Structure 1
Amino acid sequence: MNLLKTLAGISSMTLLSRITGLMRESLFAAAYGMTPYTDAFNVAFRIPNLLRRLFAEGAFSQAFVPILAEYKNRNSHEATRDLVDHVTSALVWTTLAVSLLGIIAAPWLLVLVATGLEKQPDAFASSVFMTRLMFPYIAFMAFVAMSSGVLNCWRNFKVPAFSPVLLNVALIGAALIVTASPHWPVETLGHPIYTQAAAVMLGGLLQVGIQLPALARIGMLPRLANPFAGYRDAGVRRILGKMGPAVFAVSATQISLLINTNLASRVGPGAVSALTYADRLMEFPTALLGVALGTILLPSLSKANVDGNAEEYSALLNWGSRLTMLLALPAAVGLALLAEPMVAALFNYGKFGANAIGAAAAPLVTYAVGLIGIIMVKILAPAFYARQDVRTPVRIAVAVLIATQLMNLVFVPLLGVAGLALSISLAACLNAATLFFILRRRGIFVPDHGWAVFFFRVGCALAVMAALSWLAAHYIDWDALRAQRVLRILTLLGVIGALAVAYFAVLFGLGVRARDFKRSAR
């Protein structure tokens, strides 16, 4: 398998997902603005979404994929199929039970997550309603996470990467319906924001539906059974044993983000939405590179570990780390220097006013500070999970979580919402640096030759790109283009394209070639 070609394939699907995601956020901003009710939706969606990242995609995937890879390489197809059946049964029935508890406990959960909303009774009541409506989303996503793990082990990366597009399509449709209905019948249908909550559930169903044919083609379509039968399976018990600690290790950033949501809800109306808009833009490069690389590396690292091939293991980490530095560093520079033009071009329409641009751009700048750390964690953490070592990342994650909240005490009074994003950024860098140091000390990750020259070349290209970014931000009148939405977006895309050409042209002139990053895995 050509890893670079596979990465390009996954990234193209992820790019489609992120483009539709930006369309969704742009339409959301125009249709609903930045109000207490948009805060209410963002808070309501954050609870099941956090549980999805914690349990379904986070801890579960990191615990499930290495053990599934071991079964696939060492056991029969039937034994692997039984493991998938039992894992799916245990996971789906458990998340359905959690959903039921979440529906019942929604008001108390919101008090914990966003205490500031209590000061706005109507928004709080709306958030309770939407939380209850969207809680079963985690059961859908648990199935999707299981399916993605199976498909990735069979080298089918495109279907899982494409799945989020379906959620975005559902949310875009809901926003278009509201935009086309200036006289929304609040008395009969409730607040227009409720359409987004309904669309989340529809998107979840669509994502489940697209997985089923792909699973059937490889003979791994799971059969739901008694959940207790699943818990008696030795493989399931091993996965659960790894999952418990992995919840903390994989999800330190998400737990910090949840705490930050609570803190942001106290800053003032619109603060949660400002953080959310910045988060969406920051997740664009994170998903294109970090998630895609992590998806590819985990099965390959797991196989190298099963085969006892330490050289291949280290080579995979070197490859992933170089690609991260090559692509994440310019993304961070672009996000920081073009924060306001990006927010203006994508969101400054309809009810999203000029004052909201600066509010959303400030946390985006401070998110950019830690982008390299956020992505490197997604590369380095799988290096431990592929070896079925969960204790080390757990200890690091707990320390980082504490450090994040200590930094909040310093930065939030000074910077407001931007301080919250800065805390997450610096904590991610601390997390990545600690993971790297331990991997080096244990001899698991041995950097290959040429890193100093590589950094020099990237640094020169970044300097040119940064200068051009500053000129574009200060000498293009982005506000004057507000009335011409398509032209403003095309101008932004043109600037980004020109910056990419300049960056890679400098690298090419200094001797960097695409063939340097080609790599194959069995």
Structure 2
Amino acid sequence: MSTEPPAGTDHPNRAPRAADKTAPPVRKGLIGSGLVVSSMTLLSRVMGLVRDVVIAALLGAGGGADAFFVAFKIPNFLRRLFAEGAFNQAFVPVLSEYSIQRSRADIRQLLNATAGSLGAVLALLTALAMFAAPWLVWAFAPGFGRDPDKLALTADMLRLTFPYLLLISLTAFAGSVLNTWSRFAVPAFTPVLLNLSLIGAALLLTPLMDVPAMGLAWGVLIAGCAQLGFQVPFLARLGLLPVPWPNFAHPGVRRILKLMAPALFGVSVSQINLLLDTVLASLLAGGSVSWLYYSDRLVELPLGVFGVAIGTVILPALSRRHADQSREHFSAMLDWAIRMVLLLGLPAALALAVLAEPLLTTLFHYGAMTDRDMQMAAMSLRAYAFGLPAFMLIKVLAPGFFARQDTKTPVKVGVVAMVANMLFNLVLIWPLAHAGLALATGLSACLNAGLLGYLLRKRGVLVFQPGWGRFAVQLLGGCGVMVAGLFALAPDGQAWFDFSLMQRVGRAAWLVVAGASLYFAWLWLAGLRLRHLRMNS
């Protein structure tokens, strides 16, 4: 006879599944969830590009732009390192386990303790960073030390932008809860508010400032408040709005902290490598920081729309499978995620490399931006594009460890990749300048992804499913057809500088549509269908 209680009643050790609105929802298809995240992320990235077009036209690649990008990069780097990196990868597996094995009261106690502890630590860190802003700027961009005015301006901006770390980390906490309960759309839409805030600040605040770039720093602070405020009602609707109370002795918080420490390296090593690029770029010719920034922004579009989206939906699913001890399905999910990343990431990387000048010129060659700025940014864009598939693979391979609450292995891999990146930087910066820094980051990402995949295979966690030979023919054939078509259709790079705005937009859109059409037409002719890509969570 079954010992389970009737549907809708509480089990002493399990969260209710029917009547309790805080219980995890019925599992959905990963493609459907991924499309939700991808569409919202695409909107965010498009708005981000609009934001960067406005900033580029107003500030160009001069000293004010460099100062703002560094002042924004510091809290943004720490956000990716702590909030969306180590904290998310440690918190989601613990919360998923609680949602399956614990009661509603236990879940709420975990949320209260985690929100309070996270907020207390970040409030203290924010206060210290605002006090030590000049030293922090010097540590992240030592080249600014040669220009006292530029260093002081960046420090003043940092005092406005650093509280964003506290606000966005609490936003990431809320987003992790919503993602665990399969409410993917709200966290995926939230970054749009950052872009809208910065666009508004660029248009409305910069004309009022003695130093125009300072208006953007105010926009970052406004964005943090807007993003956190947007997610609060959705947590309340689920009955999961925490009452923050620091409790570092809570068992769940202790487990999260234990998992976070090594995860700081394992999941965010690519961000550390990008930061090293900024430090070294500050020592190169003026504009190098901005060239890397604009090229990185284009790489972030497919990385966010495809890589981050797949990683976002797969982590809670893998965590549940680990809690359910479903090893075969766990491995099948990883295999599916790798195929999806390659299916979308490899053609995106090749398209960015082929269309570097057309895309950069269409988006950023206005106002203070010069022809040389576009040529320099195109060099680093091609270098970043080389590592794009590896960046995306890291997003889906690292959760294979974190979902199993193994954070030590990615730490070892991350340290190896970070040391390799430093060596690559020292070797490549001399012949290739800022583009060498981008290429070094891509090479270290390839090493990172390769080691993660190798170790998952060696431990039997990742078992490749049948059909990889056929899939490789479909993928590589499609990429070859797309690249050949783009080379045949794209005008000479110099010609883009002479086109009008409408000519640039029209021709760039035509090339993107033509390239995508050639690629997907080949996949169709080679026998790939949507049903072949389905995977349930």
- For Structure 1 versus Structure 2, the TM-score category normalised by the shorter chain is over 0.9
Please give the secondary structure, in 1, of the residue aligned with 2:445: helix
Equivalent residue number for residue 512 of structure 2: 496
Equivalent residue number for residue 517 of structure 1: 533
Q: 2:374 aligns with which of 333, 340, 357?
A: 357
Please give the secondary structure, in 2, of the residue aligned with 1:194: helix
Q: 1: distance between equivalents of 2:273 and 2:431?
A: 19
Query: Are residue 191 (structure 1) and residue 211 (structure 2) matched?
Result: yes
- Measure how far apart 1:475 and its partner are: 4.6
Equivalent residue number for residue 6 of structure 1: 33
Query: Are residue 211 (structure 1) and residue 238 (structure 2) matched?
Result: no
Equivalent residue number for residue 48 of structure 1: 75
Q: 2: distance between equivalents of 1:478 and 1:275?
A: 21
Whether the 8 Å contact between 2:71 and 2:154 is mirrored in structure 1 is: yes
Q: 2: distance between equivalents of 1:210 and 1:485?
A: 35
Query: Are residue 132 (structure 1) and residue 152 (structure 2) matched?
Result: no
Whether the 8 Å contact between 2:190 and 2:227 is mirrored in structure 1 is: yes
Q: 1: distance between equivalents of 2:95 and 2:185?
A: 19
How does 1:312-461 map onto structure 2 within 5 Å? 312-461=329-478
Q: 2: distance between equivalents of 1:297 and 1:32?
A: 39
Which residue identity lines up with residue 490 of structure 2 in the other structure? A
Which residue identity lines up with residue 466 of structure 1 in the other structure? V
Q: 2: distance between equivalents of 1:509 and 1:221?
A: 50
Partner deviation per Cα, 1:330-382 (whole Å, 9 max, x = no partner): 00000101011111000000111111101111110000111110000000000
Name the % identity.
44
Equivalent residue number for residue 480 of structure 1: 498
Please give the secondary structure, in 2, of the residue aligned with 1:418: helix
- Measure how far apart 1:6 and its partner are: 1.2
Partner deviation per Cα, 1:289-327 (whole Å, 9 max, x = no partner): 111011100000000000110111011011111111111
Q: 1: distance between equivalents of 2:505 and 2:184?
A: 30
Which residue identity lines up with residue 214 of structure 1 in the other structure? F
Q: 2: distance between equivalents of 1:123 and 1:486?
A: 36
Equivalent residue number for residue 13 of structure 2: none
How does 1:174-185 map onto structure 2 within 5 Å? 174-177=201-204, 184=207
Query: Are residue 268 (structure 1) and residue 288 (structure 2) matched?
Result: no
Which residue identity lines up with residue 100 of structure 1 in the other structure? A
Q: 1: distance between equivalents of 2:104 and 2:402?
A: 23
Q: 2: distance between equivalents of 1:480 and 1:432?
A: 40
- Measure how far apart 1:511 and its partner are: 0.6
Over the aligned positions, Cα root-mean-square deviation in angstroms equals 1.2
Equivalent residue number for residue 242 of structure 2: 222
Which residue identity lines up with residue 237 of structure 2 in the other structure? R
Once the two structures are overlaid, the 10-residue window that deviates more, 485-494 or 309-318, is 485-494
Q: 2:306 aligns with which of 278, 283, 289?
A: 289
Equivalent residue number for residue 166 of structure 1: 193
Partner deviation per Cα, 1:448-469 (whole Å, 9 max, x = no partner): 1111111111111111111122
Q: 2: distance between equivalents of 1:456 and 1:491?
A: 30
- Measure how far apart 1:488 and its partner are: 1.5
Q: 2: distance between equivalents of 1:486 and 1:204?
A: 34
Q: 2: distance between equivalents of 1:66 and 1:331?
A: 30
Equivalent residue number for residue 99 of structure 2: 72
Q: 2: distance between equivalents of 1:471 and 1:256?
A: 35
Partner deviation per Cα, 1:72-117 (whole Å, 9 max, x = no partner): 0000111101101110001011111100000011111111111111
TM-score (norm 1): 0.96
Which residue identity lines up with residue 220 of structure 1 in the other structure? L
Please give the secondary structure, in 1, of the residue aligned with 2:528: coil
Which residue identity lines up with residue 469 of structure 1 in the other structure? L
Q: 1: distance between equivalents of 2:129 and 2:239?
A: 34
Which residue identity lines up with residue 71 of structure 2 in the other structure? A
Please give the secondary structure, in 1, of the residue aligned with 2:418: helix
Greater share of residues in helix? 1
Query: Are residue 309 (structure 1) and residue 309 (structure 2) matched?
Result: no
How does 1:140-155 map onto structure 2 within 5 Å? 140-155=167-182
Equivalent residue number for residue 97 of structure 1: 124
Q: 2: distance between equivalents of 1:195 and 1:391?
A: 42
Aligned residues: 509
Whether the 8 Å contact between 2:138 and 2:151 is mirrored in structure 1 is: no
- Measure how far apart 1:473 and its partner are: 3.4
Equivalent residue number for residue 466 of structure 1: 483
Say if 1:486 and 1:172 are closer, same or farther in 2 by CA, change over 3 A: farther
Q: 1: distance between equivalents of 2:370 and 2:263?
A: 41
Once the two structures are overlaid, the 10-residue window that deviates more, 163-172 or 457-466, is 457-466
Which residue identity lines up with residue 159 of structure 1 in the other structure? V
Structure 2, unpaired ranges of 5+: 1-27
Please give the secondary structure, in 2, of the residue aligned with 1:352: coil
Partner deviation per Cα, 1:368-405 (whole Å, 9 max, x = no partner): 11111000000000000000000000000001100000
Equivalent residue number for residue 300 of structure 1: 317
Q: 2: distance between equivalents of 1:466 and 1:376?
A: 22
Whether the 8 Å contact between 2:490 and 2:511 is mirrored in structure 1 is: no
Q: 2: distance between equivalents of 1:472 and 1:198?
A: 43
TM-score (norm 2): 0.93
- Measure how far apart 1:46 and its partner are: 1.0
Equivalent residue number for residue 60 of structure 1: 87
Which residue identity lines up with residue 445 of structure 2 in the other structure? A
Structure 1, unpaired ranges of 5+: none
Query: Are residue 20 (structure 1) and residue 47 (structure 2) matched?
Result: yes
Once the two structures are overlaid, the 10-residue window that deviates more, 448-457 or 379-388, is 448-457
Once the two structures are overlaid, the 10-residue window that deviates more, 511-520 or 162-171, is 511-520
